[in-house]
Amino acid sequence: MTRIIADISVSLDGFVTGPDPDPDNGLGTGGEALHTWAFSDDPDDRLLLREAIARSGAVVLGRRLFDVVDGPHGWDDTTGYGAGEVGKPAFVVVTSTPPKSVRLTGLDWTFVTTGLPDAVAAARERAEAAAADRGKDLDVVLMGGGATIRAALESGLVDVPSLHLAPVVLGAGTPLFTGGARRSLVQRSVTATSTATHLTYDVLR
C-alpha cells in the first residue's frame, strides 16, 4: 500500500528553517542544525535515512524548495535526496508556473500547476508504478517546504507525519504549524539518536 508520508526536520520551537531563508540559504540563519542528523555518522541516523530513501517511490516538494535545491548552491552528486544511493525517486513539484529550465537534468521532474492534491495524486501514480516494477510497496514522501507540508496536513492528505526533532531552539523562521484544523495522531515510533529524536505518527481518519 502506498502511504503519503510528510517527512521534515523541525526545531524544538517548531520551525523548519531559521530566520530569513532565501534561495542562496534555504534553511535560513542557523537552520543547518535541523539537518545535522542527516549527515551524522550515528548508525541509527544512517539506518533511518537509508530506510526512508528506500521506501520513496515519489517525492513532492513546493516551488520555493525546488528553487533552492535546483539553484547554484543546491543539490549535486554528493548531496540531495537519494545521493549516494542506488536509484532515485521521481520528483513532483507544486507550482503555479513551471521553471523555464532545470539545472538538475539527471533527476525525474514533474511540475503540477493545478494544486497540491493533484500533485500528490500524480506522485501516488508514480510511486505505485515504481512499486509494481520493483515488486515492493513504495510511498509518496512530502519533503517540504514547511508551507507545503502544513497545507497537506490541513487538507487531510497525509497518512504518516515523520518528524525529526532537532535539539535546537531557532527563535524564528518558517513555522511547521500555524493553527488550522485539529488532527488526532497515534504515535507509532520514537527513535532517539545522538543528534535528533525521530518521531513517527499515523493520522486518525
Which CATH number fits the domain that encloses residue 50? 3.40.430.10
Q: Is the pLDDT of residue 86 over 60?
A: no
Judgement on whether residues 178 and 163 belong to the same structural domain of the protein: yes
Residue 115 gets which letter from DSSP?
-
CA atoms within 13 A on the CB side of 151: 16
Distance, CA of 44 to CA of 100 (rounded, Å): 40
And the C-alpha cell for 81?
535526496
Q: Which of 138, 172, 193 is the last residue of a domain?
A: 138
Judgement on whether residues 110 and 162 belong to the same structural domain of the protein: no
Is residue 31 assigned to a domain?
no
Q: Is the pLDDT of residue 41 over 80?
A: yes
CB 26 within 8 A of CB 114: no
Is residue 21 assigned to a domain?
no
Domain that holds residue 71: 56-138
Mean pLDDT of the chain: 92
Q: What residue has cell string 488532527?
A: 183
- pLDDT class for 44, splitting at 50, 70, 90? very high
| Strands 56-62 vs 139-144: parallel, antiparallel or unpaired | parallel
What whole-number percentage of the chain has pLDDT above 70? Answer: 97
Position 62 scores a pLDDT of 96
The model's pLDDT over 149-163, given as tens digits with 9 standing for 90+, comes to 999 999 999 999 999
